[in-house]
Amino acid sequence: MQTWGSDGDILPFFALANGLRLAGHDVTICYTSVDATDYSALANAFNIKSINVVPAITNDIRTIGKELIHTPSLFKQCLLVSGKCFEPALAEMYEASQQLCRNHDIVIGHFIQNTLHTAAEKYHIPRVSVCYLPPAIPSRYYPPLGAPDLGSLLNSVQHVLAETIGARLIFPSLNKLQSREGLSSVKRYAQRITVSKYLTLVPVSPSLFPRMPDWDNSIQGCGFLNVPISESVWPVPPQLLEFIRTGAPPIYATFGSMDCYQPESNLRLLIDAIKLSKQRAIIQTTINRASLSIDDPNVFIVNKVPYHTVFSLCSAVVHHGGVGTIQASLLAGVPSVVVEHVFDHTFWAQQLRKVGVTENVLHRRSVTSRKLADAINAIISSPKYNTNAQQLSVMMKKENGVNRAVQLIEDKFQMC
């Protein structure tokens, strides 16, 4: 298995790897973290072989993150990440891709991990794709990410254009690598990379995004891929539990993996918004909690806590729109206030609006503490959002994305 990105891109692969291991399969997971996170402790806990590909990238990820957040154009965001994060890691990732293909019968890759696609073609190894983002898969029923819905015919045309741009401009080294290895060029990115001719897993709950009727049978939704975390392994701090129990259910506020790019500004925004809203809140920050002195009895600062436990004790979650945080909030049965940052966050916020668990989407470039406070109070004051979230939680708790994904893989390749 090979993946690339931040927590939201890497942790689901560990969940699937653990599921495959428990089903009796020999699994190796290779990852490249854009923020240099080391997941070896998790690999050891699951008894999974892991390879941490650490590229020689000299770019300051915090500076890149700030630039991303303040870049309105989705196309320019993609160019920025590709040019400063993905492309500089290409050589190390491709070497790892080749190693995986030389030593394994099947490979499973992140939907933009095109180095694994090239290696799999070179070594004639079946490749499974894991696509977190449904709009990246062509369909006449919806447009590509960031494009307007223009109806079935024009949506299809927009997908072709987006695929062509992806192959030629966003990932410029793809076809250079294909040519170097004597392989045919990739003209449409989704057709060859995002989607696998063998099997493409879409780890999204059908409650949030149903399977499209024009998808090929090889494209299958499986539900979210959750990392099993025991409360005995990651307990909730006693002081936090005491804070929760001594008043009305608090808001939980986190910008997840996006916080590390401008943590001081984020913390100030959240604290000011909570004061204006007159709500109680748990605020997550990447700043060392011990170095902070927050003189507000309605605010409790944490660095990181188990979402699966704490969210269910809260009244709502303020977050950036990352699919991992969305999943955790829905499973907990709590509504959301979304402050989108980059890429797919707006798409996921729109899905939350469709299912009735959030209201208007805010943007990190333009949000103010007053706007955020008003959005928080709007969600808290209307029972319909909580009711809808509770109903979704009941449905989603019946799903088991990891088990379903393992079953689909085993059925496809007749593994036992």
pLDDT number for residue 43: 93
Q: Which pair of tokens denotes residue 244? A: 């929760």
Whether residue 376 has pLDDT greater than 60: yes
Q: Which pair of tokens denotes residue 391? A: 């109903």
Domains of the chain: 2-224+399-413 (3.40.50.2000), 238-396 (3.40.50.2000)
% of the chain surpassing 90 pLDDT = 69
Distance CA 206, CA 211 (A): 7
Distance CA 347, CA 231 (A): 32
Q: Which pair of tokens denotes residue 375? A: 């959005």
CA atoms within 13 A on the CB side of 242: 4
CA atoms within 13 A on the CB side of 181: 23
- Long-range contacts at 75-82 (CB < 8 A, ≥ 24 apart): 75/146, 75/165, 75/170, 77/342, 77/343, 78/166, 78/170, 78/343, 79/169, 79/170, 82/170, 82/171, 82/172
pLDDT number for residue 232: 43
227-270 per-position pLDDT tens digit: 877 544 567 889 999 999 999 999 999 998 888 788 899 999 99
Where residue 412 falls among pLDDT bands split at 50, 70, 90? very high
323-338 per-position pLDDT tens digit: 889 999 999 999 999 9
pLDDT number for residue 236: 85
71-119 per-position pLDDT tens digit: 888 888 888 888 888 888 999 999 999 999 999 999 999 999 999 999 9
pLDDT number for residue 157: 92
